[in-house]
Amino acid sequence: MSESRGFYPSAGGGGWLVDDTLFRLLVDFEIQKAQRLRYSIAVVCVAVDGSPAESREASAASVAESFARHLRSTDAVASWAQGWFYLLLVDAEPVHLSPIVGRLTTRLEMMGWSAGGACYPGNAIRADDMLRQAGDLMMRARTAGVNRLYVES
């Protein structure tokens, strides 16, 4: 997302839009905080099938903005060059991911999507591991069919 070089709240309130570099730093920061304060965090990778007639970049920016608008102010979203979106969900346990993703995809009226989620503690202790696990699980969900969420438990 070329316009998201930085850290700013979405226009409609809710979560934060960040670039991929800052997203990794935020995940690392939240893991360190979660270790000290003993709470959980989740990273969800979402691929949206199909796109409107707009340009791919404009479409990605629009989807990222929509995700952010429906997240809490403690959460963040970033779009990746592959067309995927990563969500950082603070204080989200593995059992919360299915209802969260279901709510987001319903509110955003997504016809086809695939998602994968990784959580701390339990799955990973580094941002890169969480991102890789969430991306790998999203690819498995995509291979299995549409509208699926795989979560590492």
pLDDT tens digits, 81-96: 888 999 999 999 999 9
Q: How far is CA 42 from CA 5, 53, 97, 102, 109, in A?
A: 23, 32, 8, 15, 23
pLDDT value at residue 119: 93
CA distance 40 to 48: 26
For residue 70, the model assigns a pLDDT of 92
Which token pair is 140? Answer: 């498995």
List the one residue out of 103, 112, 101 whose CA is nearest residue 50: 112
Question: What's domain 13-151's architecture?
Answer: 2-Layer Sandwich (3.30)
- List of the chain residues with pLDDT < 50: 1-5, 51-55
Per-domain residue ranges of the chain = 13-151
User: Looking up tokens 């590492």, which residue turns up?
Assistant: 152
Residue 71 confidence (pLDDT)? 94
Q: What is the pLDDT, as a whole number, of residue 32?
A: 94
Q: What is the pLDDT of residue 42?
A: 96
> What percentage of the chain has pLDDT greater than the value 70?
85
pLDDT at 58: 53
